[in-house]
């Protein structure tokens, strides 16, 4: 028989309908209402009851849990409602018995409505002149929870509830009903969080899985749904104890426990242990980053109450290595440090660490902190230049200690950070010479190198100004962005958006497992290979000499004006890692540069994260077509076989101006060819 046919039969006066009419008719007779009139009224109310197959049950939901890449839990997404559904076979028999004993002793005998209990309750309530006893079955309570919004305690609602309970019993087994009830009943509120279902309640009140509850604990939980606030054991332990003992007495009277067991149980304490399972989160900065990515993808309601199982990209071993590197190497008083490490092949965030304590500040320096990158921005200019065909080994610029250039608007742009003579782009990159990169920026064009930065992964707004070539950004960049953008170079010119989520499982078994596509190729592998080869010089002989990891790696230091921000961003063929050190609240000078403050953190971390495999950048399938570049800014220079340069002077457009002002300084700006030959591996002089 179909659900619709069964419903027509009930409304026409089937067995359930006849019992409802008879019972409520008897009740009305007790209070002096004519049975015939009562029967008609009850029949009208029954007819108005909606069919459950036309209704959508209330979203019971569940809390979403987040896991690290190895499957270990990082915690649950924050929600005012705590839900954690379990299967019936996970719920101990003692809790099932306690619930039935106190809520619905005839649960397995009735068809959704316990008519004898209704009559008993009516008689007792009439005699008392007030409501002293209810008579709702577990099934009635369940349909109320699922289908009736803001139920009023009226006879009409009871009749509708009884009709719907009878229908529900025809569609679901007793075990299904009991399981659903135990997962949707409200068991109490604590610290603003409402525990729905026996697992959530067990964790909140006893800090254990529901399967581990003993008899006393099971009896306590079974008694809570009738009045969760009144019987809350944390707020009213005496009331909770009395209610628990009522449950134990009911279990004794109905034969679920022996007299001896009952006597022992009522003497025991409540055994409460406040649980924090749903409030404790590990790696909280990363957790918040994941939570925001989830909300952006699925919406806040689904994330908080959708019962998602979220598997992230966080490598617990690498996260620990990142935190340890910061703890060991970050010793600058008053400053903070942040590190983000990216899988270059996929864009997955492997580690996200900070020196800050989440309890002190919830601001994520690694993902939210926007800081001036200093010379760590220069690789975007270099990449744009190589992409235009400039050969870093055959293109030379003068490197005066200071220089004044002019913007496209005719404004003077003074830059300091050089030492005289001429220098190839390769050596200027290794030694981070500002005056060379200022001239290169003019030749490349600010619109071109800022567009290159965007394509590689810089998401914060860039203005397309010359000063941005040296890291003088209006809005700054995050450590996350820098790690991701350099990963584009590590990945042979293919960019992947940063992600912290590997897959998401829904309660219905559906899995959202975003495939890691080929990514977007933004430069050829030949351009990426050339830039990586040039940037090896930073670690081999340039500003971060001595900070290598024993495997092929490329990178760039960065220090901003007045040494307020220190950076090192570097990568191997598989891992890209950015490290920032600075004062998060102000631009306070620090006693060091990117090479001194950030590079040691990077080195210690990468020795764990990126030395296996210890392979070199693969030879490109499409080698870059490069040649020496000549412009009004480039110098006419030749090198003899010994590597000694002969300077034939500079063009008028690049004549030095006597100024010590600079748009951005670096830990390398004072390169002096009279003291150090290009590529000799010496640490250059600091900018005055």
Q: For residues 667 and 195, what is the distance between their CA atoms, to the nearest angstrom?
A: 56
Q: For residues 552 and 564, what is the distance between their CA atoms, to the nearest angstrom?
A: 30
Residue 261 sits at the vertex; the CA angle it makes with 257 and 263, to the nearest 5 degrees, is: 120
Assess whether 248 and 327 both reside in one domain.
no
Q: Is residue 631 a part of any domain in this protein? A: no
Assess whether 90 and 238 both reside in one domain.
yes
Helical (H) or strand (E) element with 602: helix 599-609
State the pLDDT at residue 134.
54
Please report, for the chain, how many H helices and E strands are present, in that order.
Answer: 23, 21
Dihedral of alpha carbons 581, 586, 587, 590, sign: negative
Which residues is 634 bridged to in the sheet?
Answer: 397
Number of other residues whose CB lies within 10 A of the CB of residue 358: 15
Q: Is residue 313 a part of any domain in this protein? A: no
- DSSP H stretches of helix in 457-575: 479-490, 525-540
Q: Is residue 674 a part of any domain in this protein? A: no
Residue pair 491/345 in contact by the 8 Å Cβ criterion: yes
Q: Is residue 45 a part of any domain in this protein? A: yes
Q: Is residue 329 a part of any domain in this protein? A: yes
Q: Is residue 301 a part of any domain in this protein? A: no
Q: Which of 267, 299, 332 is the last residue of a domain?
A: 267
Assess whether 249 and 350 both reside in one domain.
no
Assess whether 226 and 333 both reside in one domain.
no
58 DSSP 8-state letter: P
Look at residues 563, 547, 567 and name the one whose alpha carbon lies nearest to residue 483.
Answer: 567
Which residues is 558 bridged to in the sheet?
Answer: 567
> Which residues fall within 8 angstroms of residue 320, CB to CB, at 6 or more apart?
none
Residue pair 537/679 in contact by the 8 Å Cβ criterion: yes
Q: Which domain holds residue 516?
A: 321-618
Assess whether 485 and 413 both reside in one domain.
yes
Low-confidence residues of the chain: pLDDT under 50: 1-13, 126-133, 636-688
Q: What share of the chain is helix, strand, coil (3-state, %, to 5)?
A: 40, 15, 45
Pairing type for strands 637-639 and 645-647 reads antiparallel
Assess whether 225 and 127 both reside in one domain.
yes
Assess whether 339 and 254 both reside in one domain.
no
Helical (H) or strand (E) element with 305: helix 300-305
pTM: 0.83
Angle of helix 3-12 relative to helix 15-30, nearest 10 degrees, comes to 30
- DSSP H stretches of helix in 457-519: 479-490
Rounded to a whole number, what is the largest CA-CA distance in the chain? Answer: 119
Q: Is residue 464 a part of any domain in this protein? A: yes
Backbone angles phi, psi at 557, to 5 degrees: -85, 165
Residue 529 sits at the vertex; the CA angle it makes with 528 and 535, to the nearest 5 degrees, is: 90
Assess whether 103 and 180 both reside in one domain.
yes
The total of structural domains in the chain comes to: 2
Q: For residues 31 and 251, what is the distance between their CA atoms, to the nearest angstrom?
A: 33
- DSSP H stretches of helix in 172-236: 174-184, 198-206, 215-222
CB neighbour class for 379 (10 Å; exposed up to 12, middle 13-18, buried from 19): buried
Angle of helix 237-253 relative to helix 259-267, nearest 10 degrees, comes to 180
State the pLDDT at residue 180.
95
Assess whether 86 and 207 both reside in one domain.
yes
* E strand residue ranges, 344-439: 349-354, 396-398, 402-406, 412-416, 422-424
Which residues is 24 bridged to in the sheet?
Answer: none
State the pLDDT at residue 266.
96
Read off the CATH number of the domain in which 181 is found. 1.10.3810.10
568 DSSP 8-state letter: E
Q: For residues 323 and 339, what is the distance between their CA atoms, to the nearest angstrom?
A: 9
Assess whether 257 and 326 both reside in one domain.
no
Q: Is residue 684 a part of any domain in this protein? A: no
Read off the CATH number of the domain in which 388 is found. 3.40.710.10
Cα distances (Å, whole numbers) of residue 607 to 60, 539, 579, 603: 48, 14, 14, 6
Assess whether 377 and 487 both reside in one domain.
yes
Pairing type for strands 309-312 and 65-67 reads parallel
Q: For residues 134 and 288, what is the distance between their CA atoms, to the nearest angstrom?
A: 45
Residue pair 365/480 in contact by the 8 Å Cβ criterion: no
Tens digit of each residue's pLDDT (9 = 90 or more) over 124-175: 554 444 444 456 899 999 998 888 876 566 667 777 888 888 899 999 999 9
Q: Which of 247, 267, 287 is the last residue of a domain?
A: 267
State the pLDDT at residue 16.
53
> Which residues fall within 8 angstroms of residue 447, CB to CB, at 6 or more apart?
464
Assess whether 263 and 350 both reside in one domain.
no
369 DSSP 8-state letter: -
Q: For residues 155 and 46, what is the distance between their CA atoms, to the nearest angstrom?
A: 11
Q: For residues 262 and 285, what is the distance between their CA atoms, to the nearest angstrom?
A: 49
* E strand residue ranges, 111-262: 186-190, 193-196
State the pLDDT at residue 20.
55
Q: Which of 568, 601, 618 is the last residue of a domain?
A: 618
Torsion of CA 605, 607, 610, 612, to 10 degrees: -150
Helix (H, G, I), strand (E, B) or coil at 255: coil
Number of other residues whose CB lies within 10 A of the CB of residue 485: 30
The first and second tokens of residue 8, run together, are 């027509």
Cα distances (Å, whole numbers) of residue 641 to 586, 626, 638, 645, 646: 49, 21, 10, 10, 12
The first and second tokens of residue 189, run together, are 């509120």
Q: Convert 67-85 to b/e letters by CB count within 10 Å (16 or more is b).
A: bbbeeeebbbbbbebbbbb
- C-alpha count within 13 angstroms, C-beta hemisphere, residue 523: 39
The first and second tokens of residue 494, run together, are 């293919």
State the pLDDT at residue 153.
62
């Amino acid at each position: 028989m179909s659900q619709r046919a069964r419903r027509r039969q009930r409304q026409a006066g089937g067995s359930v309908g006849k019992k409802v009419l008879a019972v409520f008719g008897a009740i009305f007779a007790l209070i002096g209402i004519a049975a015939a009139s009562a029967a008609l009224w009850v029949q009208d109310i029954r007819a108005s009851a909606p069919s459950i197959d036309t209704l959508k049950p209330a979203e019971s939901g569940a809390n979403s849990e987040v896991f690290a890449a190895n499957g270990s839990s990082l915690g649950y997404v924050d929600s005012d409602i705590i839900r954690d559904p379990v299967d019936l076979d996970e719920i101990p028999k003692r809790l099932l018995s306690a619930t039935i004993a106190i809520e619905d002793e005839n649960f397995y005998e009735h068809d959704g409505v316990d008519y004898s209990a209704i009559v008993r309750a009516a008689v007792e309530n009439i005699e008392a002149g007030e409501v002293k006893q209810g008579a709702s079955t577990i099934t009635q309570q369940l349909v109320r929870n699922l289908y009736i919004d803001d139920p009023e305690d009226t006879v009409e609602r009871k009749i509708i509830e009884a009709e719907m309970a009878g229908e529900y019993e025809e569609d679901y087994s007793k075990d299904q009903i009991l399981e659903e009830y135990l997962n949707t009943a409200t068991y109490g509120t604590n610290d603003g969080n409402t525990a729905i279902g026996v697992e959530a309640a067990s964790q909140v009140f006893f800090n254990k899985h529901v399967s581990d509850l003993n008899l006393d604990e099971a009896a306590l939980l079974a008694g809570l749904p009738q009045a969760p606030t009144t019987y809350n054991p944390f707020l009213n332990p005496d009331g909770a104890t009395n209610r628990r003992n009522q449950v134990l007495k009911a279990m004794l009277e109905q034969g679920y426990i022996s007299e001896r067991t009952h006597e022992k149980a009522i003497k025991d304490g409540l055994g409460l242990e406040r649980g924090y399972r749903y409030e404790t989160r590990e790696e909280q900065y990363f957790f918040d980053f994941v939570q925001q990515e989830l909300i952006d993808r699925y919406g806040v309601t689904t994330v908080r109450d959708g019962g998602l199982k979220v598997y992230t990209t966080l490598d617990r071993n690498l996260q620990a290595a990142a935190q340890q590197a910061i703890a060991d190497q970050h010793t600058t008083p008053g400053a903070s440090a942040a590190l983000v490490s990216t899988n270059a092949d996929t864009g997955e965030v492997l580690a996200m660490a900070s020196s800050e304590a989440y309890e002190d500040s919830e601001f994520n320096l690694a993902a939210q902190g926007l800081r001036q990158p200093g010379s760590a921005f220069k690789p975007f200019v270099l990449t744009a230049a190589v992409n235009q065909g400039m050969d870093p080994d055959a293109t030379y610029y003068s490197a005066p200690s200071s220089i004044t250039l002019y913007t496209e608007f005719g404004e003077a742009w003074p830059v300091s950070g050089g030492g005289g003579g001429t220098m190839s782009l390769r050596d200027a990159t290794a030694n981070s010479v500002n005056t060379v990169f200022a001239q290169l920026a003019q030749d490349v064009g600010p619109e071109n190198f800022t567009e290159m930065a965007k394509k590689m992964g810089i998401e914060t707004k860039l203005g397309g100004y010359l000063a941005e070539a040296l890291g003088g950004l209006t809005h700054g960049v995050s450590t996350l962005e820098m790690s991701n953008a350099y990963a584009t170079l590590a990945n042979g010119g293919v960019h992947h958006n940063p992600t912290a989520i590997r897959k998401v499982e829904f309660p219905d078994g559906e899995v959202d497992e975003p495939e890691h596509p080929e990514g977007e190729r933004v430069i050829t592998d030949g351009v990426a290979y050339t830039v990586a080869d040039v940037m090896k010089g930073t670690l081999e002989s340039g500003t971060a000499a001595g900070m290598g990891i024993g495997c092929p790696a490329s990178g760039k230091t960065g220090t901003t004006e007045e040494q307020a921000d220190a950076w090192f961003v570097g990568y191997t063929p598989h891992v890209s890692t950015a490290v920032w050190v600075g004062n998060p609240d102000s631009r306070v000078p620090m006693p060091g540069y990117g090479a001194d403050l950030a590079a040691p953190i990077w080195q210690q971390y990468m020795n764990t994260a990126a030395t296996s495999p210890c392979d070199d950048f693969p030879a490109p399938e499409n080698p870059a077509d490069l040649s020496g570049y000549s412009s009004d800014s480039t110098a006419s220079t030749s090198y003899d076989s010994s590597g000694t340069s002969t300077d034939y002077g500079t063009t008028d457009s690049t004549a030095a101006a006597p100024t010590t002002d600079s748009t951005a300084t670096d830990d390398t700006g004072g390169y002096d060819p009279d003291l150090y030959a290009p590529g000799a591996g010496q640490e250059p002089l600091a900018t005055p």
